[in-house]
Amino acid sequence: MPNVYCVRADSGIFANNFVKGEYIAIGWENINDLSGVKIPEELNPIYRKAYPDDTSNLVVGQQVGQLVRFLFGIQPSDYVITPDADTEFLHIGVVQPSPLYFYDNGSDGCRYRHRRT
User: In this predicted structure, what is the pLDDT of residue 99?
Assistant: 80
Instruction: Examine the pLDDT at 100 and tell me if it is beyond 90.
Output: no
Q: Determine the Cα–Cα distance for residues 30 and 11; give it in Å rounded to an integer.
A: 20
- pLDDT tens readout for residues 67-80: 999 999 999 999 99
Cβ atoms of 79 and 59 closer than 8 Å: no
Domain count, the chain: 1
- pLDDT tens readout for residues 80-90: 999 999 899 99
- The DSSP bridge partners found for residue 116 are 24
- The mean pLDDT value for 24-41 works out to 97
DSSP label at 104? -
User: In this predicted structure, what is the pLDDT of residue 108?
Assistant: 95
Q: Give the range of the structural domain holding residue 63, as residue numbers without chain letter.
A: 4-116
